[in-house]
Chains A and B, each alone.
Chain A
Amino acid sequence: MLVTFSYKAPQSREQLLDMIATGESDSKLLAGGTDLLVNIRNGVYRPKMVVDLKKIPGVDAITWDKKTGLKIGPAVTINEILTDANIRQHYPLLCSCARDLASFQIRNRATVVGNIVNASPCSDMAPALLCLDATVLIESKQGKREVPIAEFFTGVKRTALKPNEMVTSLHIPADKAGVRGVYRKLKRIQGHDLGIVGVAVANVGKGARIGVSSSAPTPVVTPLLPLSLSLPEVIEAVNVIIHPISDVRCSKEYRTFMVGEYTKRLWKEVIS
């Protein structure tokens, strides 16, 4: 790296929260580094201190309990999601998203929490987490708080997270266990690429939810939709939540069209 910074690897959560307590924006938390280190290399971030959270015991834990649901620690990688028996069984939509995220070696490093903290509009994990009503558990020296994932994203690469806070885990409620759903994204190539659009359709029992990435400043999700909706009504419901633009990857017109097409395809696959 051509930018100079110091590296810290706290051994406990308390130590970490102390280090970032001043809340100055010149420290960055390092988990998988697949977004952070690229951004530092490109000069987007110029932190004075990089705080590696991976040495804190328990950060790589995935816990599942019938009553309390799923908890994903901040160092849990995408490939760990893909190989976790409980997640595969109870939250297949998470796996569907995870499979489409970057390349194998990136998935070995990239974390689920990092993917949402980075808050890219094209986050691949967000559509599933939005459909599954995940909660982001946050902690600072001042205490703990919980933010519903739908309120976590506040803009392009912006979140509700404050500089003195860390995400301690993601929580997915128990009542979303068994939700069937599929995520698919349109890319420029068949190989690893950022999505032009990404759509997740989930049958949450009482109804359906559709999460969409790369089609608004943040990943977005529909409210609960009745399973009885016709396809045009479903597309209408999605069109309400997206705000696509034209960029180097695609035009606004095609984005809008393809969100509709993917929605149709997945609705047929998952719901009809």
Chain B
Amino acid sequence: MSDQDIQKAARHVSQNERLIFELSSPGKAAYQLPPLDVPLAGPAEALGPEYVRAELAGFPEVSEIEVVRHFTRLSTWNYGVDTGAYLLGSCTMKYNPKINEVVARLDGLSNAHPCQPESLSQGCLRILRDLSKALVEIVGMDAITLQPAAGAHGEMTGMLLVRAYHERQGNPRKKVLIPDSAHGTNPASAAIVGYQTVSVASNSEGTVDLVHLDRLMDEEVAALMLTNPNTLGIFERQITAIGEIVHSRGGLIYMDGANMNALVGVSRPGDFGVDVLHLNLHKTFSTPHGGGGPGAGPVAVKKILEPFLPVPLIRENVDGSLALEFDRPQTIGRVRAFCGNFGVLLRALAYILANGAEGLRQSTEDAVLNSVYLRKRLEGAYDLPYRAPTLHECVFSDKHQARHGVHTGDIAKRLIDYGFHPYTVSFPLIVSGALMIEPTESESKQELDLLADALLSIAREAEQEPQTVLSAPHSTRLRRLDEVQAARRPVLRWKPAQE
């Protein structure tokens, strides 16, 4: 490889920086308070002695510019979607439009308090109501809760609704069926809600094996949890038949909406037999989630599940004003404080309104087009174990490169040298040595070409100079991290040397 092959990244900018605790010197402060002009109140009397700590140990004491420089320098170690393509398959790291942030910073919204009286919260309630209506229309369902704080929380909420429904029918049932290509959160959520999980095999196309499903489906199965399109990016074309098998024995279809960005404006889960699904607003609807969110995982349901939705829901009074409704006797209760992560919900509505119906559909089509374009450029150089048409993402395997001792994790590390955030490594598990790539609609053809060129160049390196790939990354501040040791002996807390 010559340096010309690396077109995007040169050396990664990275200033050395210690922990902020190590920058501390006693007595330094970033603020000055005016002299106290009211009587001193003891915290113990005001709050109760049990809330008062005797000492605040180890807080860093630094000046304002030190704080600012510290975090600015740290930010030079970072890579975000604002730096370049962020290929994590299944994570949908699409661009977070700045208009969302402008809207979220409007005074009346950023300073609203959830304990404000309803008469002064009409704007916020309207935002929640409008978002509910928009999402219900997009997924073709009947009702929705916006409360869950993330995707897995939405899954748990959805499965609680499933359980409540079956309990109401007289038997909560025992099992939940989950395809072997599913996200790991699906079995975890079903188990948390008290169900035993049973894995459904994939066929050679990469979709649900109907014969196996038919054999497993009985009167003790509460639901099938299905991701559509699935983690291979393949649409479950037999979804109608799947629905018939599950429904005929009294089960429900739960759809993991993590990949809804492949369907918005084109196809509606409510129309293809889904009874309950969650959405990841922090994926499909462009709210931030790099760095931990927060997210939002609204759960949309068909009429049969509506009575069980968490409270409060939003009700429209006869005079047109909005109110929070708590009086719902069959509700599963609250799953989150107040109305969920309002700031995230707000950004999702901004995204929906800024795009409009046509824009949303265009986003879906562009996401699929980008993914298919990459797939076509990389096919041949990388092995494609499932060859069915794919939508928003595609999964290659490292089979060709493995012959030279280079595996998916090595290719991912090398991609960092080329200036890209790696794809998802070693997932889904049904593909050995998986490279799971999701470009999203955000990328231009120029960025996609840079990326494809980089991956093709790495494929050549794997063949001709595997050592370059095996010892990557070369241009980063730190080289290969010891992932094994980090998992086996994690050091999660800084402690001062004298302790």
Q: Do A and B assemble together?
A: no
Chain B interface residues toward A at CB < 8 A: none
